[in-house]
Amino acid sequence: MKVLMFGWEFPPLSSGGLGTACYGLTKGLSKKGIGITFVLPYSFDADNANFLKLVSASNIKIKKIASALQPYMSSQEYKKSLDKKPSPRMYGSTLFDEVYRYTLAAEKIAEEEDFDIIHCHDWMTFGAGIRAKKKKNKPLVLHVHATELDRTGGHQVNQYVYDLERHGMHKADKIIAVSNFTKNKVMEHYGVPSEKIQVVHNAVDFSQHYHIENFEIKKTDKIVLFLGRITLQKGPDYFVYAAKKVLEQEKNVKFIVAGSGDMEPFIIEKAAELGIADKVLFAGFLTQDDVDRAYKMADVYAMPSVSEPFGITALEAMKNKAPVIVSKQSGVSEVIKHCLKVDFWDVNELSNKIISLLRYKPLQETLKENAYFEVEKLNWDVPAEKCIEVYSELINKG
Amino acid sequence: MVSVCFYFQVHQPPRLRKYSVFEIGHHNGYFDEHKNEAIIKKVTHKCYLPTNRIILDLINRTDGRFKVAYSMTGIVLEQLEKYAPEVIDSFKELADTGCVEILDETYHHTISYLYSKDEFKEQVELHNKKIKQLFNFKPKVFRNTELVYNNEIASFVEKMGYKGIIAEGADHILQWRSPNFLYKPKGLKNIKLLLKNYRLSDDIAFRFSEKSWKEFPLTAPKYAQWVSKINGNGNIVNLFMDYETFGEHQWEDKGIFEFLKHLPSEILKHKDNDFITPSEAINMYDAVAELDFPHYVSWADIERDLSAWLGNKMQQEAIKEIYLLEPSVKLSKNYALIDEWRKLQTSDHFYYMCTKWFNDGDVHKYFNPYDSPYEAFITYMNILNDFRIKANKLGEVNIIR
Give the range among A47-61, A168-182, A310-324 with minimum mean pLDDT. Answer: A47-61
Distances (CA, A) of A42 to A18, A150, B164, B208: 16, 26, 80, 63
What is A216-376's CATH topology? Answer: Rossmann fold (3.40.50)
Whole-number pLDDT of residue B6: 98
- Condensed to tens digits (0 to 9), the pLDDT of residues A244-290 reads 999 999 999 999 999 999 999 999 999 999 999 999 999 998 888 89
Q: What is the pLDDT along chain B (401 residues), one digit of tens a residue?
A: 899 999 999 999 999 999 999 999 999 999 999 999 999 999 999 999 999 999 999 999 999 999 999 999 999 999 999 999 999 999 999 999 999 999 999 999 999 999 999 999 999 999 999 999 999 999 999 999 999 999 999 999 999 999 999 999 999 999 999 999 999 999 999 999 999 999 999 999 999 999 999 999 999 999 999 999 998 889 999 999 999 999 999 999 999 999 999 999 999 999 999 999 999 999 999 999 999 999 999 998 888 999 999 999 999 999 999 999 999 999 999 999 999 999 999 999 999 999 987 765 555 556 788 999 999 999 999 999 999 999 998 877 655 54
User: What spatial distance separates the first Cα and last Cα of chain B, rounded to whole Å?
Assistant: 64
CB contact under 8 A, B314 and A362: yes
CB A352 to CB B355 under 8 A? no
What is the identity of the amino acid at A244? Answer: K
- The answer to whether the CB atoms of B358 and A341 lie below 8 A apart is no
φ, ψ dihedrals at B273, nearest 5°? -95, 150
Please identify every residue of B annotated as catalytic. Answer: 146
**SS3 string of B69-90?**
EEEECHHHHHHHHHHCHHHHHH
Fold of the domain built from segment(s) A2-203+379-397:
Rossmann fold (3.40.50)
Please tell me the predicted confidence (pLDDT) of residue B323.
97
**Looking at CA atoms only, how far is residue B115 from chain A in angstroms?**
20
* A84 pLDDT tier (thresholds 50, 70, 90): confident
Neighbours of B400 (CB within 10 A): 5
CA distance A362 to chain B (A): 5
A303 touches chain B (CB under 8 A): no
Q: Would you state the pLDDT for residue B401?
A: 47
Whole-number mean pLDDT of chain A? 90
Integer Cα distance of A283 and A286 in angstroms = 7
Contacts of A343 in chain B (CB under 8 A): none
Q: Do B378 and A370 touch (CB under 8 A)?
A: no
| Cβ atoms of A32 and A388 closer than 8 Å | yes
**Which residue of A349, A363, A370 is in closest CB contact with B377?**
A363
**Three-point CA angle A360, B26, A300, nearest 5°:** 25
Q: Determine, for residues A362 and B355 on separate chains, whether the beta-carbon distance falls below 8 Å.
A: no
Q: Note the pLDDT of residue A280.
A: 97
**Mean per-residue pLDDT, A182-189:** 96
Distance in Å, alpha carbon of A20 to nearest chain B alpha carbon: 26
Among partner residues A348, A363, A365, which is closest to B378 by beta-carbon distance? A363
Return the DSSP state at B23: G
How far apart, in Å, are the Cα atoms of A360 and each of A312, A354, B55, B378, B392? 26, 10, 48, 8, 20
Whole-number pLDDT of residue A82: 79
Contact predicate B338/B329, CB 8 Å: yes
Q: Are A247 and A239 in contact (CB under 8 A)?
A: no
For the segment A37-58, the average pLDDT, to the nearest whole number, is 60
Q: In this predicted model, what pLDDT tens digit does every residue of A279-323 receive, in sequence order? A: 999 999 888 889 999 999 999 999 999 999 999 999 999 999 999
| Residue to substitute from A356, A367, A374, A375, interface B, most B β-carbons within 10 A | A356
Side chain identity, residue A79: K
Q: Which one has a higher pLDDT value, A26 or B340?
A: B340
Whether A2-203+379-397 and A216-376 share one fold: the answer is yes
Contacts of B358 in chain A (CB under 8 A): 337-338, 370
Give the best residue of B310, B374, B377, B384 to mutate against chain A (max A CB count within 10 A). B374
Q: List the domain boundaries for chain A.
A: 2-203+379-397, 216-376
pLDDT at position A8 is 77
pLDDT for the residue numbered A258 = 96
**Which residues contact residue A303 at a Cβ distance below 8 angstroms, ignoring those fewer than 6 apart?**
A226, A227, A228, A234, A311, A313, A314, A324, A325, A326, A327, A330, A332
pLDDT in tens, A118-165: 999 999 999 999 999 999 999 999 999 999 999 887 788 999 999 999
CA–CA dist A21, A32 (Å, integer): 17
- CB contact under 8 Å between B313 and A341, yes or no, is no
| Nearest CB to A348; choose among B22, B317, B381 | B22
Give contacts of B20 with chain A, Cβ < 8 Å. Answer: 348-349, 352
Contacts of B231 (CB under 8 A, 6+ apart): B1, B2, B270, B272, B273
A83 vs A183, more confident: A183
B160 phi and psi angles, rounded to 5 deg? -80, -5
Residue A89 burial (C-beta neighbours within 10 Å; 0-12, 13-18, 19+): exposed
According to the 3-state scheme, what is the secondary structure of chain A? CEEEEECCCCCCCCCCHHHHHHHHHHHHHHHCCCEEEEEEEECCCCCCHHHHHHCCCCCEEEEEEECCCCCCCCHHHHHHHHHHCCCHHHCCCCHHHHHHHHHHHHHHHHHHCCCCEEEEECHHHHHHHHHHHHHHCCCEEEEECCCHHHHHCCCCCCHHHHHHHHHHHHHCCEEEECCHHHHHHHHHHHCCCHHHEEECCCCCCCCCCCCCCCCHHHHCCEEEEEECCCCHHHCHHHHHHHHHHHHCCCCCEEEEEECCCCCHHHHHHHHHHCCCCCCEEEEECCCHHHHHHHHHHCCEEEECCCCECCCHHHHHHHHCCCCEEEECCECHHHCCCCCEEECCCCHHHHHHHHHHHHHCHHHHHHHHHHHHHHHHCCCCHHHHHHHHHHHHHHHHHC
Q: Give the Cα separation of A394 and A392 in Å (integer).
A: 5
Q: Would you call B216 an interface residue with chain A, using a CB distance cutoff of 8 Å?
A: no
- To 10 degrees, what angle do helices A126-136 and A95-112 make? 30
User: How far, in Å, CA of A311 to CA of A145, rounded?
Assistant: 10
pLDDT classification of A11: cutoffs 50, 70, 90: low
Residue A363 to residue B381, Cβ atoms within 8 A: yes
pTM above 0.90, yes or no: yes
Q: How far apart are CA A264 and CA A261, in angstroms?
A: 6
Q: How many residues are given for chain B?
A: 401
If 0-12 CB within 10 Å is exposed, 13-18 middle and 19+ buried, where does residue A257 land? buried
**Which of A71-80, A226-235, A349-358 has maximum average pLDDT?**
A349-358
Do residues A196 and A174 lie in contact, with contact meaning Cβ atoms separated by under 8 Å?
Answer: yes
Cβ of A360 within 8 Å of Cβ of B374? The answer is no
Measured between beta carbons, the chain B residues lying within 8 angstroms of A249 are 21-22
Q: Of B92, B50, B108, B33, whose CA–CA distance to B350 is shortest?
A: B108
B375 interaction partners in chain A (CB closer than 8 Å): 340
